[in-house]
């Protein structure tokens, strides 16, 4: 059952990519060679003579990850950075694990539509349209939910047990912009004048948020 649904998600993402996202491939394969130094819209191709099965393999989604973030979620990506063979193919996956009450905070994927399939647990999910309308639903094991390309969305585990989903994207590298982290931890920093006016709060509140989101020192 799970294998069939995952196969469907991958197929759906691949079909969608032909009309909305990454450009079509022009050859059988183009395994990413990030170290080549060549700048293209994607990655330059590895010499085909050096291509191996390992370029198309990744086992990082098989088991739950260890969730120890302050928001209670962990995203494990299976994109072109992890699977070089995805280069030019316009598809990728992620696994998201949630602690009880855990949140995948509001964020966007600028280059892809996302489809999630619930492996375990029950989640409250939603996205916000450009008309500022929230479209939300509670989903459970076996359910599928779609987040349209580039719209702000989130998932929250509303149960007292761990939850997990598999996400499919119609891009080899969807990109993720977490709204809070993007605004409050940018380098160089977004001016406090911008943030205080945008959120209608004082500098002290802005500084408090920045301190909460700052990377923990090892």
Annotated binding site for Mn(2+): 107, 109, 114, 153
> Helices 203-213 and 192-199 sit at what angle, rounded to 10 degrees?
100
Instruction: Measure the CA–CA gap between 63 and 77, rounded to whole angstroms.
Output: 13
Q: Is 97 within 8 Å of 71 (Cβ atoms)?
A: no
Burial class (CB in 10 A: 0-12, 13-18, 19+), 216: exposed
**Residues that constitute the known binding site:** 104, 107, 109, 114, 153
**Residues that constitute the known binding site for oxalate:** 104, 109, 114
């Amino acid at each position: 059952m799970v294998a069939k649904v995952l196969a469907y998600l991958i197929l759906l993402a691949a079909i969608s990519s032909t009309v909305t996202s990454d450009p079509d491939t022009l050859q059988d394969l183009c395994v990413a060679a990030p170290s080549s130094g060549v700048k293209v819209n994607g990655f330059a191709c590895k010499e085909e003579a050096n291509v191996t099965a390992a370029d198309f393999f990744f086992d990082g989604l098989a088991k739950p990850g260890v969730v120890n973030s302050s928001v209670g979620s962990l995203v494990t990506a299976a994109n072109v950075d992890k699977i070089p063979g995805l280069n030019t193919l316009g598809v990728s996956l992620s696994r998201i694990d949630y602690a009880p009450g855990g949140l995948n905070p509001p964020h966007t994927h600028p280059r892809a539509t996302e489809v999630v399939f619930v492996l375990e647990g029950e989640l409250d999910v939603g996205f916000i349209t450009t008309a500022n309308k929230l479209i939300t639903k509670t989903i459970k094991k076996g359910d599928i939910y779609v987040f349209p390309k580039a719209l702000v969305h989130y998932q929250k585990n509303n149960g007292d047990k761990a939850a997990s989903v598999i996400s499919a994207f119609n891009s080899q590298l969807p990109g993720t912009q977490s709204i809070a982290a993007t605004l409050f931890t940018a380098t160089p920093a977004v001016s406090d004048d911008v943030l205080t006016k945008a959120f209608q709060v004082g500098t002290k509140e802005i500084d408090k948020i920045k301190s909460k989101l700052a990377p923990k020192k090892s």
